[in-house]
Amino acid sequence: MRLCAYEKIIYLASDSTPTVTPRMLGVTEGSSPTFLKALDLGGRDQREIASLLHEKNDKAAAEKFLVSNKKGDASRVYILTGGLLETRQRSAALLQKAFPSFQLVVIAPETEGRYTLLSAETELHRLALSSGGTITHVLLLAKGSTDIHMAWLAAHSGTATGAGTAATDVHKAERADPSKAKDCFHAFMATPANAKLAAAAEAGTCAVVFAGASVHAIGKQYAALGHYFRRLSKAELATSDVGTADFERHVGLEYLGGKLQVFLGATVHKSLPSELRSGTIPPMGTRRPQLEAELPAGTAI
């Protein structure tokens, strides 16, 4: 799958369809990880800015907080993430009104998930192929505090591409809402297009890889230390907090009686995947994965 750098995949606050390309935001093949990270304005930062603006009535402090996200970069462009598309656009509109000289744009959850999931494809495939046949399918669960991205691949047929084989769901419309991550997961596994994945899970040959906020929920001490996914024992998962890691414990310890093999990503936050630099998703097997990162967390204002 290849996506042109000039493809319109980003929304303005008032757009009903995307009208902005990565290149229009200054993203190039040479963009650094620091630059790409600074583009991302996640829900946690949005809430802090909203608090400064509306609760403390301190616009100067809000602007300082927003600018500090750039770490010295002259750009004042931000891509809002976290929550539903309409929630992101509502936040962008509010911030754009407060800071008219800045550029606040939005990426849809599905597009964010597509880039994030595909960026990990190489390492997920390697995980399956290096298992000696004990892993036939790999399911990636990349959860943020509001969104969850789900997709899978098979060791010998590669990434599942049919309708329903990948999903980006909002498990919390607002941060204070109870999580519906379990419901999202069960609905995904019950989708007919994912029957082979479900069969592998039942047979005990399916690996689930937790990434994003799940790494912190389970415990950073168990995280991978680089561009790979670390096997997590049931005993290690059982030490995680019952409240914080309720979803992860359910998937790894309770679902099908704990038949899933569990792996964990790393904690280094790289934010928006580096594929946005060129707008190109390379064929599977041509590059190292970028999904050792925590997903942008939180919801919009």
Domain co-membership, 270 together with 164: yes
- Across the range 141-164, mean pLDDT stands at 88
Q: Is 188 helix (H, G, I), strand (E, B) or coil?
A: helix
Would you say residue 173 has pLDDT above 90? no
In a shared domain, residues 122 and 201: yes
Number of domains, the chain: 2
Mean of the per-residue pLDDT values of the chain: 84
Residues 77, 105, single domain; the answer is yes
46-68 pLDDT tens trace: 989 999 999 999 999 999 999 98
Residue that is last in its domain, among 111, 130, 163: 111
Cα–Cα distance for residue pair 96/105, rounded to 1 Å: 9
- Mark whether 28 and 156 lie in a shared domain: no
Return the structure tokens found at 293.
């990162």
- Choosing from 57, 83, 111, the residue where a domain stops is 111
Distance CA 259, CA 278 (A): 39
- Which residue range forms the structural domain that includes residue 272? 115-277
Q: What is the pLDDT of residues 249-260, one digit of tens each?
A: 999 999 999 999
Give pTM, 2 decimals: 0.69
Residue 301 within a domain:
no
pLDDT of residue 28: 83
Could you tell me the pLDDT band of residue 283, with boundaries at 50, 70 and 90?
very low
Alpha-carbon distances of 100 from 29, 63, 93, 195, 289, rounded to whole Å: 28, 11, 10, 49, 37
First to last CA, the chain: 34
Q: 3-7, 57-61, 126-130: which range is least confident on average?
A: 3-7
Model confidence at 209: pLDDT above 80: yes
53 domain-assigned = yes
Model confidence at 41, pLDDT cuts 50, 70, 90, reads very high
Return the top range by mean pLDDT from 32-41, 78-87, 210-219. Answer: 210-219
Q: Give the domain-ending residue among 111, 134, 168.
A: 111
What's 196's domain CATH number?
3.30.420
The mean pLDDT of 126-154, rounded to a whole number, is 92
Q: What is the mean pLDDT of residues 139-150?
A: 88
Name the least confident of 109-113, 180-184, 213-217.
109-113
| Three-class SS state of 155 | coil
Any idea which residue has 């009208």 for tokens? 19
Strand order in the sheet with 103-107: 10-11, 103-107, 77-80, 40-41
